[in-house]
Chain A
Amino acid sequence: MMTDFRSIRLICAAMAIALPVFLTSCSSSFVVEANFPRPLVDPLPVAGELVLTEEFSNYVFIEDTETRDDLEVDISSAQVELFQTITSHIFGGSEIPENQLIITPALVDFQYAIPRETRAEVYEIWLKYRVQVTSNDGEPIADWLITGYGKTPTAFMKTRQESIKLATTIALRDVGSQLSIGFGRQPDIKAWLDRREEQS
């Protein structure tokens, strides 16, 4: 009889230890931290100032739909780092105040897909940014939507968290590549740059 009680106590203890593990296995919360290389592009002959809103600097994606596992992805520091790195290298600077651009980014959509949903052996992330560009005196120049995509293959011993972090970093790099290569080519910005060149 004594043995039976011991067994029951042992099972209860094991369950007490295991329960939090099972409860947390379906939810995860993590911070994406990343450094981005300087873009290898010729700087534009204008100055640029990056304006980061409170919402942008503190953005956390929260998945709370009933059909999916809980997920919290804090990409605030990574996206701030990305936009700061890119904008500090794509503008060559200018002495003329009229040659200054104000860049205000906003993350308008964060989407993800996991292998269980797509049956593909990859984790996928989509990030959609709205980049508003105005002149020094507040005149709107461009309202540019950039979608970044990142994916990472499933791998033995790699957790869902690690995979989503990596896919998010790849998606952010994709946004950075479009921003650094495409900024001077974006039609509205290009038209403004051409006008500035004609006037100077």
Chain B
Amino acid sequence: MNTVKHIIFLAALGLLTACTTVAVDEMRWQETSLDLARDTVVILGRHHSPEYETEPELVSCIGNRLRSNMRGLNVIPEAEFVDLLYPWFEPRTAPLTMDKFIQVLDEPLIRDELIKHRVRYMIWVEGATETINQMGTMTCAIGPGGGGCFGFGSWENQSEYEASIWDFENTREAGRISTDAQGTSYMPAIIIPIPILARVQSNACEGMGTQLSAFLTPEAS
């Protein structure tokens, strides 16, 4: 009975999560519509900045969120898309503005490839999750009789992402969605370290994905 109690206690500790605050803003410049049976959407991370790198896991997470919110929607994975259009969407060559994108579309090979894959919206995600504050100390020791940790640590993570939605059919920027998320994770340790993590990046993904679904199909929301 005691073993069961211990397992339940440890499982409960593992499920502990710290709080995260998420703020989502939307700017719309034109109406959007999406034929789920025909159109495809591609979500791409910005990789041109020397200071940060938009995480591929975040881009993939937003894609998964769109797929689950909009059943039947075809979202082309980032890696597959950049391979299909290599070398035009590499960090050095990817168009940073709509005007540059229109110039890229002058290349018939690129335009044909986008039409072939029925790309309707191209969503560029820019930003990163960073640790902005760390506090506390923890000491771990190991010896013949066993080991353990003692102490307390905490760190604060901040996510700042902005998605820019480009309409390929009208060659215009349809709007922008920005997500800011912040949360503090804690790790108390009395023999065993117990991580109480703030799911900052996944909450930012959830906020961004939900808002993007509503943005792309306003009639459904």
Residue ranges of A at the interface with B (Cβ–Cβ < 8 Å): 7, 10-11, 36-42, 120-122, 149, 151-153, 155, 170, 173-174, 176-178, 180-181
Main secondary structure of the interface of B (DSSP, over half): loop
CB-based contact A151/B109 at 8 Å:
no
A181 interface neighbour in B52, B93, B113, B128, Cβ under 8 Å:
B93
| 0 or 1 for each of B202-215: is its CB under 8 Å from A? (1 = yes) | 00000000000000
Let me know if B96 is at the binding interface, CB within 8 A.
Answer: no
User: B residues 76-114 with Cβ under 8 Å of A?
Assistant: 83-88, 90-93, 109-110, 113
Which residues of the other chain, B, contact A39 by a CB distance below 8 angstroms?
A: 86-87
Smallest CB gap from B128: residue in A? A153
Cross-chain pairs A/B with CB under 8 angstroms, 20 sampled: A36-B86, A37-B84, A38-B86, A40-B84, A40-B85, A40-B86, A40-B110, A40-B113, A41-B109, A120-B51, A121-B52, A121-B130, A155-B57, A170-B91, A173-B86, A173-B90, A176-B86, A177-B90, A180-B87, A181-B93
For B92, the closest partner residue in chain A by CB is A174
Please state if B90 and A174 are interface contacts (CB–CB under 8 Å).
yes
Please tell me the number of chain B residues within 8 Å of chain A, measured between CB atoms.
Answer: 23
CA distance A10 to B128 in the complex (A): 46
> What residues of A have a CB within 8 angstroms of the CB of B128 in the complex?
153
List the 7 closest A-B pairs by CB distance, nearest first. Answer: A177-B87, A37-B83, A37-B86, A153-B53, A177-B90, A7-B144, A40-B109
Contacts of B86 in A (CB 8 A): 36-40, 173, 176-177
Interfacial chain B residues near A180, Cβ < 8 Å: 87
Besides A37-B86, A149-B91, A155-B55, 13 more A-B contacts (Cβ < 8 Å) are: A39-B86, A40-B84, A40-B88, A41-B87, A120-B50, A149-B92, A151-B47, A152-B53, A170-B91, A173-B87, A176-B87, A177-B92, A177-B93
